[in-house]
Amino acid sequence: MLGYYDNKHMKKYFILALLVAVQAYGAFAQKDGDAKTILNGLSKKYRSYSSIKTDFVLTVDNKQAGVQNTQTGTLISKIQGNKFRVSLYQPAGKKQVIDQEIISDGKTQWTYMVDEKEVQVNDAGQGDDAFNPAQIFTIYEKGYKYVYNGLQKQNGKTYQVIDLTPEAEKAQFFKIRLMIDKVKKQIYNVLVFDRNGSRYNYTLKTTTPNTPVADAYFSFDAKKHPGVEVVDLR
């Protein structure tokens, strides 16, 4: 069981959990009127932004396997053109050292593994680590039910709690719990329940809208990374 949590696999699951978390911003799910009102309000707000920068902390916990891992990262997403860049940092030390990056200009996606000195190239939306947080406003229009579970107070703040469940019986995640800051009207925390017993706890530390960013930031320039092997999987 422990072999299931090797470093490469864990990186993939950090990314998958991140996908679920950031895409929850656009949840238009059905079944519960209160939840629909809250989620539609979130979607309207984030649709008004040209870009979003989020610093996050993600903890993966599986008590059965005796595993708990925490990783920090930054996501910058540009709404127009479906562009994004995710930077995952090494867990040790106070200085943020990039461990892995996932970059997309909307057409091509690069997965850059720093320690391995390798970048894998796929068409956008393809490959094992493929995701597109630029589509956060539409991903949950279909395939999820939801229910509003009331208010929860934590550290002096009030959060609205919404649970989403996939309609597909064999979905990898069987429940997603959103905690939404009632005052700021922003997602604060996402807890993802995996069928293998893992829980992915994603907390947004900061959310900065309309961050100035050039289009060149959403591509990988091999000339600036000498010695990195480029593996084209297209």
Query: What is the number of other CB atoms lying within 10 angstroms of the CB of residue 52?
Result: 22
Question: Which of the residue ranges 6-20, 45-59, 103-117, 162-176 has the most confident prediction, judged by mean pLDDT?
Answer: 103-117
pLDDT tens for residues 154-202? 989 999 998 888 888 777 778 888 898 999 888 888 888 888 888 888 8
CA distance 56 to 72: 6
Q: For residue 75, give the H/E element and its range.
A: strand 67-78
pLDDT tens for residues 107-141? 999 999 999 999 999 998 655 444 444 444 444 55
Q: Which of the 8 DSSP states describes residue 222?
A: G
Check residue 172 and give its pLDDT: 75
Question: Which of the residue ranges 56-60, 148-152, 195-199 has the most confident prediction, judged by mean pLDDT?
Answer: 148-152
Check residue 124 and give its pLDDT: 85
What lies within 8 Å, CB to CB, of 16 at 6+ separation is: 131, 172, 200
Query: What is the number of other CB atoms lying within 10 angstroms of the CB of residue 193?
Result: 15
Residues paired with 179 in a beta bridge: 161, 189
Q: Which of 13-22, 129-138, 214-223 has the lowest mean pLDDT?
A: 129-138
